[in-house]
A = this chain, B = another copy of it.
Amino acid sequence: MALRSEQDFLTLIDRYFPPSGSPAGRQADLVRPEHVLLGRGDDCAVLRCPGQICMSADLFLEDVHFRRSYFLPEDVGYKALAVNVSDISAMGSRPLGFCLQLFGPSDVPQDWWEGLFAGMAGLADSLHLPLVGGDLSRGPNIGLALTVWGEAVEDGRFLSRQTARPGDHLFLVGEVGLARVGLMALENAGRQACRDLPRATSAHLRPVLHVEQAMHLGKLDFVRGLMDVSDGLAMDLPRFLPSGLGADLDPQAVDIDPEVVDYATRLSEDPLLFALAGGEDYALLGVAAPEASGELTRAVPDARVIGRVVERPGLFLAGRPAQIAGFDHFTG
């Protein structure tokens, strides 16, 4: 049964995201009570804020960012929130709350919407993240527009881009290349790709977040900068480094999942170059003072140093230039 009215939708949303302040609400003990002063249902939400917040807003649109043919509705709800939270983690920050603007055609069955809300609420609950407001509308296909905000873990300390210095160590938290394999396999074979390539398809459908690691990195003063790798490491590195600087990666240091190795090899492509072209990895890419590498990996064991910042612009592998095409949601 499709949902007929805005009120049907609001009732369903309240079931999965109980209004803040509601004593019986599933989120009631999770939400830090001081943040949401007035929740959904008025013209605005009212939030109690720390002195500084970071904020990001990402679209998640059918047939651009996901397909209903191989995304479960739970995956759509999960991933739409995850890719937004990843931007908060990319600042080394703690997520605080989010807004959801949602639209779709009238023939989408209620079960599908329930799956979407269940997938999103599962992630939101695990992060203690309240849904504070948003909007609903009919539309020609399904789309989600989320806005997420967060706070610095240490006062005023947000890890930005363009902060690297020559000689700094580059590090990664998370995998690169796996989500690209997942996307290609799902586009080719649909949902049955999940059996053959469980890790790659999961990396595309339900990217792993690094929320705790990011908050840890936000406290380390030798970590100079951070971003999330959403368009592939090769395309994102030049956005991360100040102009004039480049990256020299150690080919042995970049972990490549066996599913990526197999898939790239079957395509007669070099697995490392394939992984660096990536796309939708949602790994964290960081830069740290070189003398602190040992301390970094002790403090955040998932962080792996993959190379260093050099004074030549470009991407190098053990000193030799690498040319790899990236990934662009806009033209892609």
Contacts and interface: CB of A to CB of B under 8 A. Distances in A.
Contact of A87 (B5, B44, B48, B50): B44
A54 B46 contact: yes
B328 A5 contact: yes
A9 interface: yes
B143 A139 contact: yes
Interface string A41-69: 11111111111111111110101110000
Interface string A22-55: 0000000000000001100111111111111111
Interface residues of A, number: 61
A329 B53 contact: no
Given A55-B99, A64-B138, A161 B331 contact: no
Given A37-B52, A134-B57, A43 B228 contact: yes
B161 A43 contact: yes
A112 to B, nearest CB: 17
Give this chain's copy count: 2
A49 B52 contact: yes
A4 B91 CA distance: 30
A91 B145 CA distance: 23
Contacts of A64: 103, 137-139
Contact of A101 (B6, B145, B160, B227): B145
Given A55-B133, A140-B141, A147-B57, A49 B46 contact: no
A57 B99 contact: yes
Interface string A62-104: 0111000000000000000000000110110100000111010
A17 interface: no
Interface string A178-215: 00000000000000000000000000000000000000
Contacts of A147: 57, 99, 147
A61 B137 contact: yes
Nearest to A136: B330
A79 to B, nearest CB: 15
A269 interface: no
Contacts of A246: none
Residue among A6, A38, A43 with most chain B CB within 10 A: A43
Contacts of A331: 4-6, 138
A227 B101 CA distance: 20
A71 B201 CA distance: 43
Given A5-B331, A46-B55, A64-B138, 18 more contacts: A42-B91, A42-B161, A42-B227, A43-B90, A43-B161, A45-B55, A46-B53, A46-B160, A49-B51, A57-B100, A58-B101, A61-B139, A63-B140, A64-B137, A135-B145, A138-B331, A140-B140, A147-B147
